[in-house]
Amino acid sequence: MLPVMKISLPCPDCARALLNLPRNAGRGAIWVYRHTLSPLVGYNCRHLPSCSVYGDEAIGRYGLWAGGWMTLARLLRCQPWGTSGIDNVPQQLPAGARWYLPWRYARWRGVNDGTP
């Protein structure tokens, strides 16, 4: 009788970790900013939650590509002539958002306007 060889499949946790690598790298960059540069600059965000919390949540929820575009739009709105107020990460991606139309992921003007 031939010996039975066990073939081990790649662990699902390893595959999940590789798929989440870009997302975790983006969140890691935000973590480094929060603990190094942010204390030196001070708390100056015009929105609630702060831009770094918004970016961490957006990237954590939607990934580096979509969440990164949302974060970029938020950072561009957070300037002296920009918006201010409560601005949460949307619960759903906008209807017209596609990976090849990345600017549609973000809200470029205003704050929570009532749309999800």
Residue-wise pLDDT for 32-89, tens only, equals 999 998 888 877 788 889 899 999 999 999 999 999 999 999 988 888 888 888 889 9
Q: How many helices (H) and strands (E) does the chain have?
A: 4, 2
Find the mean pLDDT for residues 103-110.
83
End-to-end CA gap in the chain: 63
Model pLDDT, residue 5? 58
Query: What is the percentage of the chain residues whose pLDDT exceeds 70?
Result: 86
**Whole-Å CA distances, 112 to 29, 69, 85, 86:** 26, 16, 9, 7
Model pLDDT, residue 1? 56
d(CA 28, CA 38): 14
Which carries the bigger pLDDT value, residue 88 or residue 10? 88
Model pLDDT, residue 40? 87
d(CA 107, CA 74): 8
In one letter, which amino acid is 52? Answer: S
In one letter, which amino acid is 58? Answer: A
**Whole-Å CA distances, 24 to 28, 69, 86, 106:** 6, 16, 26, 20
Provide the token pair at 89. 């990460």
